[in-house]
Structure 1
Amino acid sequence: MVNVSSKRVYNWYISLVAASCMVLYGYDASVFNAVQGSKHWVAYFNYPNPNTIGAINTAYTVGAVVGGFFFGGPLADCLGRRFGMATGSALVIIATFMQTFSPRGNVGCFIGGRVLIGLGQGMALTAGPIYIGELAPASIRGTIMSFWQMFYSVGSFLAYWVNYACSENPQHLGEWDWKMVVIFQLLMPILIIAQVFFIPESPRWYIQKGNQIEKARKSLNRVRNTDQEVEEEILAIREAIEFEKEAISSGYSALWKDKSVRKRMYICLILNAGQQVTGQGTLNSYSTIIYKKVFTDASQIALINALNATFGIIFTLNATWTVDRFGRKFLFIVGGIGMAICMVIVASVETQTPTINGAKSQSVGISIVFIMFLFAFFYKPSWGATTWIYTSEIFSMNVRAQAVGMCSQTQNVANSIVQQFFPTFLNNEGFYAFYMFAGINGLLAAFVWFFVPETKKVSLEEIDTLFGGANHIERGAEIIDHKGAVEHIPELDEQNKAVSANVQRV
């Protein structure tokens, strides 16, 4: 029987609190797709035209990009990872009330809420993965981060099942058949704010902000099993940060000045954009209009969406046992090839079968849904979960917040571009459009094979060497040793003695 320490359990708990930020994203990414099926929502806002629908989608993207690119990183660096998550959650709460209680016919207020909710999620989605990456031990970091993507599926699960329940009772609920779906989004940000300030702050942030060694030690004592682990990790963090302070600039300019960091930025920008052009982002936004081409019953489509979200949770769980066993690169490649095959099959089945009375036969519809679920089986643990894991772990401390913020929001940039043209593309070309996604997924698998290094079980402070950079621990140790010899720093002497004593006892 596996003996799991109480501190390891607590490490999981604090990581899942941070991962709850992804529930916000999953819920909101699904909720607008869901409410578009409500006749009451359409009537409430005076039958908004397609351009207005597009503006509502784009409003969220603009807010998320601005929040992630320009506010998320600086906020997480200046005030801490916990504050970034809390601020983002607070904005989601305000925005939810704005959307739910928009005056009748005032779609501008609804759009304003979409912008604000995007800002909040941009901040929360920057701070959350950084927090998990900095608190989780290297040996289980990938496993814990896989729950980040799973919680996106949890958000979709909640949104679609609430919507399905409301769509079954439109006469009793009236306008609340869509308002209920929107206001239910309050649940998760309230839970995050209620917990986030009771979990430890990142020790790396404490040391980066004023060299607060004692506070960093207290944080690590809550999640590491032995004093030796705590002291060794503190020393490694100090050495890495010291090197980054002395030899590397910080802030947004550092993302492009350093050749090693620049290489990582290119890789992560492509991976994050690739995540959204696999076809998953489009399916999440437009699955309702896609399924309308093969099904005629709106309630049936709502049920399919809800079941897809349910299986998404199960499929993402596959990442928890595969990502640290087989590695990130393996999952990216297998996922890309599997998704490409699924898209070819789905396009072939729909385009090569006859239409009867304006719709496909039931067997064709079931086949298409099955292949779409199989697509999710390949996507969720690979390009869904692993993209976030990889992005959160490959950047050094001095640029981590800014880089994660910018790279993660590339998802929204890519998704917004595809969302603009895909409805027209689908309308004109039908399911032939899915051949495009098949080709993209094949190219993404090839990109990973040739250009993406494996990061499985490599510590955050040593990961730079994989990308042609210096080992921040070794170079930082040289700087600290030199300073110690010149200045004779008592605190440093005591820390080194403590580490040596612990090692000797072991």
Structure 2
Amino acid sequence: MVLGGAAFLAGAAVGGASVNVYMVILGRVLLGVGLGFANQAVPLYLSEMAPARLRGAFSNGFQLSVGVGALAANVINFGTEKIGGGWGWRVSLALAAVPAGLLTLGALFLPETPSSLVQQGRDRRDVARLLQKVRGAGVDVGDELDDIVAAGESAAGAGGGGLRRLLVERRYRPQLVMAVAIPFFQQVTGINAIAFYAPVLLRTIGMGESASLLSAVVTGVVGVASTSASMLAVDRFGRRTLFLAGGAQMLASQVLIGAIMAAELRDSGGVGKAWAGVLILLIAVYVAGFGWSWGPLGWLVPSEIFPLEVRAAGQSVTVAVSFAFTVFVAQAFLSMLCHMKAGIFFFFAVWLAVMTAFVYLLLPETKGVPIEQMAGVWRAHWFWSRVVGPESDPDIDEERARGKL
């Protein structure tokens, strides 16, 4: 997290002081490096530090912060767009140093997670003291400590090569599938296309530059509010429920947006103000569906399903897949929009139907399951139990996981 914050600071400084396009590109590269470090470290840190019964709420705070940051960026862009003299973009880029500084400073004061201490070979008493401090005085941490130490011993016995083991060994196949499928599906919901090009979309339906940026701010507010609601609901209703309900909400929104765009563009070549208002409302409904389902859960679920010996490697795969398809969707969206027109919304709707079916059939519920006991969830699942096989250790935790499906 410290390295990520330092990269953010450097990227903001270079971007704000750019004198040519190469400096702008370098600044963006440095910001990308910061994103890689932060997206790797922060979700794992939250999942390892949070108690199992509240892990969803704590981890969803990551997406809430992302949403708040995106909203702040839209507000800044709305304001700097009005600055005369052509230097407003410098202010917009340089202000990234504010959250970067907070991240770097805050990370310096954060303790390591108990799991990290075990991996570093620290004494059991040191781990117990940290765990007790995090959980609070009077809380019995004995069972959790035993699970963490046992996971650490298992990871130490397994040796290194976490990425190779994740890719090759059959017992990690469910986690590998989720590490690839969930970030892939998260991107083909179409959310980044709308986030990146919401102003472009709104200008195509007749709104001015400032009005389209303001509308992006409004959708940002909706995203933050819905993610906040997800923090309250995820540990009560479970991950699967939010995935399925949010997917259905986004699917209906995309179909309606596509139908309206197809009908209006065919009849008049443009969209009237009344229908433009309806489209903005549907985009807000879509953003809300993403904000309390695939947005936060796309980071939560991968961060909580990996055993300790492949956890860092698994999160790296998740981040890499997410960034790869973010780039692909961002680069392809405008070309697809020009060629497919309203059909692009039906394209994303098909993917939403596919991912909703995927969750229903293949993603087990992980609500309330201690992160060190997550293997039992896969062994109790109707499909993945055939892939990973039975637990060889007689002291299995399948009974705890069976009620979580």
TM-score, length of structure 2 as denominator length = 0.90
Structure 1: distance between partners of 2:59 and 2:76 = 27
- Show the 5 A alignment for 1:104-115: 106-115=20-29
> Over residues 428-473 of structure 1, what are the superposed CA-to-partner deviations in whole Å (9 max), with x where a residue is unaligned?
2222211101111001001111111111100011101222364989
- Pairs aligned (count): 387
Aligned residue for 1:252, secondary structure, equals helix
The SS at the match of 1:319 is: helix
Aligned position for 1:486? none
Q: What residue in structure 1 maps to residue 165 of structure 2? A: 254
- Structure 2 gaps of 5+ residues are 380-387, 398-405
- Structure-2 separation of matches of 1:453 and 1:431: 35
- Structure 2 match to 1:442: 353
Would you say 1:407 and 2:318 are equivalent positions?
A: yes
Cα 1:472–1:98, aligned 2, differ >3 Å: closer, same or farther?
farther
Question: What corresponds to 2:65 in structure 1?
Answer: 151
Query: 1:177 is matched with which residue?
Result: 88
Shift in Å at residue 234 of structure 1? Answer: 2.1
For 1:222, the equivalent position in structure 2 comes to 133
Inter-partner Cα distance in structure 2 for 1:473 and 1:431 = 56
Q: Among residues 52, 57, 75, which one is paired with 1:161 in the alignment?
A: 75
Q: 1:175: Cα distance to partner? A: 2.7
The aligned residue for residue 241 of structure 1 is 152
Indicate the residue corresponding to 1:86 in structure 2. 2
Matched residues in 1 for 2:200 and 2:143: separation? Answer: 55
Per-residue deviation, 1:258: 2.6
Q: Of the candidates 358, 363, 367, which is equivalent to residue 452 of structure 1? A: 363
Inter-partner Cα distance in structure 2 for 1:180 and 1:235: 51
* 1:343/1:438 contact within 8 Å kept: yes
The CA distance in 1 between the partners of 2:101 and 2:156, in whole Å, is 37
How many Å separate the matches in 2 of 1:257 and 1:356? 54
**Could you say which residue in structure 1 is the equivalent of 2:12?**
96
**How far is 1:261 from its partner?**
1.4
Residue 7 of structure 1 corresponds to none
CA distance in 1, matches of 2:48, 2:339: 47
User: Equivalent residue for 1:291?
Assistant: 202
- The code of the aligned residue for 1:254 comes to R
Identical aligned pairs, as a percentage? 26
TM-score (norm 1): 0.73
Corresponding residue SS for 1:211: coil
**Paired residue for 2:250, among 339, 342, 345?**
339
Superposed CA deviations along residues 320-363 of structure 1, whole A, max 9, x for unmatched, are 12211111111111211211111110011122126899742111
- Offset, 1:147: 1.4
Q: For 1:448-504, what per-residue CA distance to the aligned partner results, in whole angstroms no more than 9, with x for missing partners? A: 11111111100011101222364989479xxxxxxxxxxxxxxxxxxxxxxxxxxxx
The 2-side partners of 1:395 and 1:89 are apart by 25
CA distance in 2, matches of 1:301, 1:377: 18
2:176 is aligned, of 265, 268, 277, to 265
Distance across 1 between alignment mates of 2:137 and 2:271? 62
- Counterpart of 1:93, as a letter, is L
**1:427 equivalent in alignment to 2:338:** yes
Say if 1:113 and 1:350 are closer, same or farther in 2 by CA, change over 3 A: same
Give yes or no for contact 1:264–1:394 (8 Å, CA) kept in 2.
Answer: yes
Distance 1:471 1:158 in 2: 51
Q: Which amino acid aligns with 1:251?
A: G
**Could you tell me how far 1:170 is from its partner in structure 2?**
2.7
1:218 CA drift (Å): 2.9
- Quickly say closer, same or farther: Cα 1:356–1:362, change in 2 above 3 A: farther
CA contact (8 A) 1:239 1:473 kept: no
Q: Considering only aligned residues, what root-mean-square deviation do their CA atoms show, in Å?
A: 2.1
Contact 1:240 1:473 in 2 (8 A): no
Name 1:135's counterpart in structure 2: 49
What is the distance in 2 between the residues matched to 1:276 and 1:434? 14
Give distance in 2, aligned partners of 1:112 and 1:402. 27
TM superposition shift of 1:230: 3.1
253-262 or 447-456: bigger deviation: 253-262
Q: Residues 281 and 467 (structure 1 numbering): CA distance in 2 closer, same or farther, change over 3 Å?
A: same
CA distance in 1, matches of 2:225, 2:156: 43
Q: Secondary structure at the match of 1:323?
A: helix
* C-alpha spacing 1:175/1:446, structure 2 compared with 1 (3 Å): same
The answer for the alignment partner of 1:22 in structure 2 is none
- CA gap of 1:410–1:354, structure 2 versus 1, over 3 A, is closer
The 1:186–1:311 alpha-carbon spacing in structure 2 relative to 1, beyond 3 Å, is: same
Partner amino acid for 2:27? G
* Residue 371, structure 1, aligned to residue 282, structure 2: yes
Whether 2:328 is the aligned partner of 1:417: answer: yes
| SS state at 2:236 partner | coil
Determine the C-alpha separation between the residues in 1 that align with 2:324 and 2:241: 26
- Contact 1:277–1:440, Cα closer than 8 Å, also in 2: yes
Structure 1 Cα separation of the partners of residues 331 and 95 of structure 2: 28
Distance 1:410 1:466 in 2: 24
Partners of 1:182 and 1:435 lie apart in 2 by: 35
Say whether the 8 Å CA contact 1:462–1:472 is kept in structure 2.
no
Counterparts of 2:241 and 2:268 in 1: how far apart (Å)?
A: 45
Describe the superposition over 1:265-309 as per-residue Cα deviations: whole angstroms up to 9, x where unpaired.
112210111001101011111212211210231010010011111
- The amino acid of 2:93's aligned partner reads V
List per-residue Cα deviations over 1:397-445 (Å, max 9, x = no partner). Answer: 1111111121123111112122222211111222221110111100100
| One-letter amino acid of the structure 2 residue matched with residue 224 of structure 1 | R
